[in-house]
Each structure stands twice: as C-alpha cells, then as structure tokens.
C-alpha cells in the first residue's frame, strides 16, 4: 500500500486491464452475458454509498460515476462492461482525480472497493477469464 501512496504522489489516475502488473488491477471476468452483467453492475453501483452515477451508456457498456473524497476532491470513474464471448463478460475500471496533484493512492482504493463489491454480488459468476 505504501508503494501505491508513493506512486499516487505523482499520478492522479488508475486503471485496470488484462495486462495490469498488479494482480488487483487485472480485469474481472464473470460468466454472464454482457446484458446480464450490465444489469448487475448498474444495480450494484447504484447501491454503493458515496458513489453517484452520472451517465449510463448501455450500447457502449460504460457507466460514468462520481465520488467525492474526504478531502473534497472529486473522482471521475468509468466502469466498462465488455462482452468477451456470448457467456462471459469482463469489467474494467478507470478512475481519475480532478486537480493537478497526485491522489495518494485513492483511485487505487476506489477500484479495489468497486471490484470487491461486484465480486461479492456476483461471486457465483466470477471466473478467471474467457
């Protein structure tokens, strides 16, 4: 976590993906069609405290969320639901803090928080990939 805070002194964004070096930032896969994943992800995000959904773009599979930090900064988060094949979807998250200073690792913590919540809700569908 200290490494994340040090990286966060300079960087004000974090993202997940297939090729992420940090295992906690790797894409999460669920054995659900994109449509079902979309419904589950949106309903889960709507229930998460402290997060406000700004836009839902089902055709692209993107949900744009805003979160205010304790220090008053605003974080912009994009959650993407991607179809891997007809029965598997991937969820990726991009989080960025507004402002010119680093985020002290808060974007990293937000991503982990969202993934943890989704994994709990979708535990029976969680898979390691396509």
Per-residue pLDDT tens digits for 83-112? 999 999 999 999 998 876 767 778 889 999
Indicate which CATH number applies to the domain containing 14.
3.30.310.220
Name the token pair of 52. 């406000």
pTM of the full structure: 0.89
DSSP for 10-38 reads H--EEE-BTT-SSGGGB-EEESS-HHHHH
- Parent domain of 114: 2-127
- On the question of pLDDT at 46 being above 70, the answer is yes
Residue 72's pLDDT is what? 82
How many domains, in total, are found in the chain? 1
Q: How many CB atoms lie within 10 A of CB 8?
A: 21
Residue 12's pLDDT is what? 81
């Amino acid at each position: 976590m200290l490494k994340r805070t040090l990286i966060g002194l300079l960087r004000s964004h974090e993202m997940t993906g297939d090729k992420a070096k940090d295992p906690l930032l790797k894409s999460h896969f669920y054995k659900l069609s994109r449509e079902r994943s979309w419904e589950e992800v949106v309903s889960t995000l709507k229930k998460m405290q402290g997060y406000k959904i700004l836009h839902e773009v089902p055709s692209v599979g993107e949900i744009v969320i805003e979160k205010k930090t304790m220090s008053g900064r605003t974080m912009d988060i994009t959650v993407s639901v991607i179809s891997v094949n007809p029965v598997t979807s991937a969820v990726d998250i991009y989080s960025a803090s507004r402002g010119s200073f680093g985020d002290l690792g808060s974007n990293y913590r937000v991503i982990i928080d969202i993934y943890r919540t989704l994994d709990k809700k979708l535990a029976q569908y969680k898979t390691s990939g396509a």
